[in-house]
């Protein structure tokens, strides 16, 4: 779930410069929505908020507050006003703390993206920041509090404007598991590098679409039409005895495709 709504008003600050902006989600969910249905009655299953110690009584949203359990069965309680009291003015803005080169940030830290839209009276300052960041090849590192959570964010100059990316803090990133490696065979290594060369190219997001989603939508229509869903036919794959055979087969396949692309071009 997004930590920032579809359109959220805030402001960017760097030094004494203050720029009122709005944040707009840069992506739209494309998931196919399914309801939970009782298999026997074919009725929708509802999820309701109930009170555990009140014989399952339903609780209205306006009557729900947050509680932190500091001992078993012992809570301290917070409402929205309590959290607001904790926020400084800096917490309520996107306060840039430093500018860094984008390639210094491992993509594993990035979470969600938002377009940054300047208010009408902030166009000059917004454009100044955007163009200066673009010219210097830097991204802004900032922090801001949304709801009950502080967010680390980057601001990037992209396509005539700014994009904000929420990020994970370092202590949220788990250490990579240790993997035992061994020295590759020289011939296999050279073949693997050649395969990578044959399969290399430029990334164009338009080349990729959600094919599984299309299959699900087709299956939905088949169900509507009273048809049975047929299993997807799987191509028969050749049996590979060992790594060298797999590499040789892949190399031959990618070499043919590379030659076909070259002749087509």
Q: What is the mean pLDDT of residues 191-200?
A: 92
The 10 Å CB-count burial string (b at 16+, else e) for 217-239 is eeeeeeeeeeeeeeeeeeeeeee
d(CA 156, CA 129): 10
How confident is the model at residue 111, as a pLDDT? 92
User: Higher model confidence: residue 69 or residue 148?
Assistant: 69
- pLDDT score for 14: 87
Q: Return the pLDDT at 1.
A: 35
Binned at pLDDT 50, 70 and 90, residue 30 comes out as confident
pLDDT digits (tens, 9 = 90+) for 32-76: 888 999 899 999 988 888 888 888 888 888 888 889 898 998 999
Give percent above pLDDT 70 in the chain: 90
Residue 147 has pLDDT above 80, yes or no: no
pLDDT band at 127 (very low <50, low <70, confident <90, very high): very high
pLDDT one-digit tens code per residue, 4-15: 555 688 899 888
What is the pTM for the complete model shown? 0.75
Domains of the chain, earliest start first: 7-29+84-172 (2.40.290.10), 186-264 (no CATH)
Taking only the tens place, the pLDDT of each residue in 83-123 is: 777 766 666 789 899 999 999 999 999 999 999 999 988 99
How far, in Å, CA of 58 to CA of 50, rounded? Answer: 4
User: For 233-250, what is each residue's pLDDT tens digit?
Assistant: 777 766 656 888 888 888
């Amino acid at each position: 779930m997004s930590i920032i709504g579809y359109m959220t008003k805030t402001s960017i600050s760097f030094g004494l410069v203050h720029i009122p902006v709005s944040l707009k989600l840069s992506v739209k969910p494309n998931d196919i929505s399914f309801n939970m249905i009782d298999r026997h009655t074919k009725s929708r299953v509802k999820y309701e908020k109930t009170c555990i110690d009140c014989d399952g009584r339903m609780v209205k949203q306006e009557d729900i507050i947050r509680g932190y359990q500091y001992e078993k069965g012992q809570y301290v309680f917070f409402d929205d006003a309590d959290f607001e009291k904790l926020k400084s003015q800096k917490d309520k803005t996107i306060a840039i703390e430093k500018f860094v080169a984008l390639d210094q940030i491992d993509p594993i830290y990035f979470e969600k993206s938002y377009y940054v839209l300047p208010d009408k009276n902030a166009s000059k300052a917004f454009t100044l920041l955007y163009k200066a960041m673009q010219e210097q090849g830097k991204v802004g590192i900032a922090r801001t509090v949304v709801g009950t959570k502080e967010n680390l964010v980057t601001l990037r100059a992209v396509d005539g404007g700014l994009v904000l990316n929420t990020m994970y803090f370092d202590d949220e990133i788990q250490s990579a598991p240790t993997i035992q490696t061994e020295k590759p065979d020289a011939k296999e290594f050279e073949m693997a590098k050649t395969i990578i060369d044959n399969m290399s190219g430029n990334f164009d997001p338009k080349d990729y679409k959600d094919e599984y989603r299309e299959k699900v939508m087709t299956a939905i229509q088949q169900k509507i039409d009273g048809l049975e869903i047929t299993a997807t036919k799987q191509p028969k794959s050749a049996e590979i005895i060992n790594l060298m055979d797999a590499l040789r087969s892949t190399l031959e396949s990618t070499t043919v495709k590379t030659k076909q692309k070259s002749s087509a071009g």
